Amino acid sequence: MKKRLLIFGAMISMGLGFNACSSDDPVDPNDDNPGQTPEVPETPAAPGALNLADYNNGSGIMMQAFYWDVEPRHQWWTTIDEKIAGWADAGVNRIWIPPASKGQSGGYSMGYDPSDYFDLGEYMQHGTLPTRFGTREELGDLINTAHANNIEVIADIVLNHNSGGGLEWNPYREKDTWTLFDEEHGNASGKFNRNYENFYPNSTSQYDDGSLFYEETNLDHNQEYVQNWLWKADYSVANYYKNEVGFDGWRFDYVLGFEPWVVKEWMDAVGGYAVAELWDGNPNVLEDYIEETGIAVFDFATFYKLDEALDRNDDLTILERHMVWQNYPEKAVTFTANHDTEKDPNEHNNISVENKMKAYAFILTHPGYPTIFYLDYENQNFQEDLKQLMLINNSLATGDVEILYVDNDEYVMKRSGDGTNPGLILYINNSSNTKRRNITTGWNNKKIMDYTYQTSYSPVTGDNGGVSIEAPGNSYSVYSIME
């Protein structure tokens, strides 16, 4: 089936016709006339290529600078400190680091079991002075290095489920609960001491947020005391992290565990960049959250559609469906993997290794703010290809989106460019054979090339912009004009 979609932000319309055809048979690289349109013989791709550094579109990329159970323990801040300059050179403008405060698991904690919000590796508690990631001083050095390289540092904030307090009688649950947080019980800093009155249920609230984690120690955000310590007061967690530690923004963990107004009030109080982890593949749910809070969300709708299109259903027409970046490109944080999706390779919440680079080709050429997962970038089979896609994201990936062709195996998308920026054409091939597709580019009488170097096939467009482009089997290409 031949389809053509034109997307202007939220608008999708059917429009002008064109000729597009390809063969399901393997392409002979020596065949100058595949399909219906005569082509120029293949030439080396690199000579005459645009200098992509001249086309900075201001996009930027976020690096998720950790994975689950990072090693070596107590050395993570220094480990990634040494990588900052290289990430900056590759086009990263923000890094997202794990929750920096001391958790119940001490030196083994990934930070998602927060105990003392103000212990960033400087108090001896839960069996360790440093966190799993290092000391407070090493965290400061990391942030300073990032800022020196024009990279913002995003703090992972866990605002509901607490862990690691002492045991006390809880009259509202009529049993002992681990709800006592003070200098002797999991809160050595002495800041933001808590007891059963600060968790649900209590004397002022019976609210149940339906949290799946540590339900007995879910903070009551309706209390003035809790609000002051988290974001309102000068001494709050938010102000300490921003004004003293040096964080530039926030990744709000598990926002299903508290109401959207909490995030909005936090942002009104301290500002900065922010993105929410709302684990829901329904784009309408994600877009409603954007509208309620004003912050970005991780685009789980795109993640799951890539998983379905490339892995589960082997059907690229799924990529025509509703995703958050279509309506909210500035608020859609796209990704192909994170610490949770990659935690258990036997789970179905991940994109397979063999399809990972095609997924990255999608998010790094489409609108949205893309995130690179640390382990993917460190994978030597991926790194050079990822760097090139990141360069393309920050240069040619601009302008309106037009889907030129899509079927089960092929997806061809055009970015229109802007002003002197020529834009690009992405070609994903999910079949095992090299394919060529005849399209209309909008570039008249121009020699074009694949800027990802997956293929050296470099044709010239016709008077009407028509041309045949190529993508290797189980791969992708990203075409644009040459000088």
Q: pLDDT tens for residues 314-361?
A: 999 999 999 999 999 999 999 999 999 998 766 778 999 999 999 999
* pLDDT, averaged across the chain: 91
Residue 42 — very low, low, confident or very high, per pLDDT cuts 50/70/90? very low
- Asked if residues 136 and 195 have their Cβ atoms less than 8 Å apart, the reply is no
**End-to-end distance of the chain based on CA atoms, in angstroms?**
34
- Asked if residues 4 and 402 have their Cβ atoms less than 8 Å apart, the reply is yes
Residue 33 — very low, low, confident or very high, per pLDDT cuts 50/70/90? very low
Domain edge (last residue) among 326, 361, 393: 393
- The answer to whether residue 26 scores a pLDDT higher than 50 is no
Same domain as 410, residue 366: no
Predicted local distance difference test score (pLDDT) of residue 17: 33
Measure the CA–CA gap between 454 and 477, rounded to whole angstroms: 6
CATH number at residue 457: 2.60.40.1180
Same domain as 345, residue 288: yes
Residue 398 lies in a domain: no
Same domain as 139, residue 190: yes
pLDDT above 90 covers a percentage of the chain that reads: 87
Residue 44 lies in a domain: yes
Distance of CA 325 to the CA centre of its chain: 12
| Angle, helices 283-293/300-307, rounded to nearest 10 degrees | 160
Predicted local distance difference test score (pLDDT) of residue 308: 96
Same domain as 357, residue 377: yes
Taking CA atoms, 345 is separated from 71, 162, 294, 352, 362, in Å, by: 18, 28, 34, 9, 22
Same domain as 141, residue 19: no
pLDDT tens digit sequence for 210-261: 667 788 999 999 999 999 999 999 999 999 999 999 999 999 999 999 999 9
Q: Which of 253, 308, 342, 409 is catalytic?
A: 253
Query: Average of pLDDT values for 30-35?
Result: 35
Measure the CA–CA gap between 314 and 471, rounded to whole angstroms: 17
Residue 399 lies in a domain: no
- Residue 392, both tokens: 């393309």
CATH number at residue 113: 3.20.20.80
- Asked if residues 57 and 395 have their Cβ atoms less than 8 Å apart, the reply is yes
Residue 143 lies in a domain: yes
Residue 370 lies in a domain: yes
SS3 content of the chain, % helix, strand, coil (to 5): 25, 25, 50
pLDDT tens digit sequence for 427-459: 999 999 999 999 999 999 999 999 999 999 999
Residue with tokens 């909210």: 328
Of 66, 74, 75, 248, residue with least CA distance to 147: 248
Q: Which of 277, 280, 315, 340 is catalytic?
A: 277
Catalytic annotation present for 116: no
The reported pTM is: 0.91
- The answer to whether residue 40 scores a pLDDT higher than 70 is no
pLDDT tens digit sequence for 412-431: 999 999 999 999 999 999 99
- The answer to whether residue 66 scores a pLDDT higher than 70 is yes
Catalytic annotation present for 253: yes
Query: Average of pLDDT values for 279-295?
Result: 98
pLDDT tens digit sequence for 46-61: 789 999 999 999 999 9
- Asked if residues 450 and 477 have their Cβ atoms less than 8 Å apart, the reply is yes
Same domain as 331, residue 428: no
Amino acid at 177: T
Same domain as 362, residue 332: yes
- The answer to whether residue 27 scores a pLDDT higher than 90 is no
149 is in an annotated binding site: no
Task: Quote the domain boundaries for residue 196.
Answer: 58-393
Q: Is 447 helix (H, G, I), strand (E, B) or coil?
A: strand
Same domain as 237, residue 296: yes
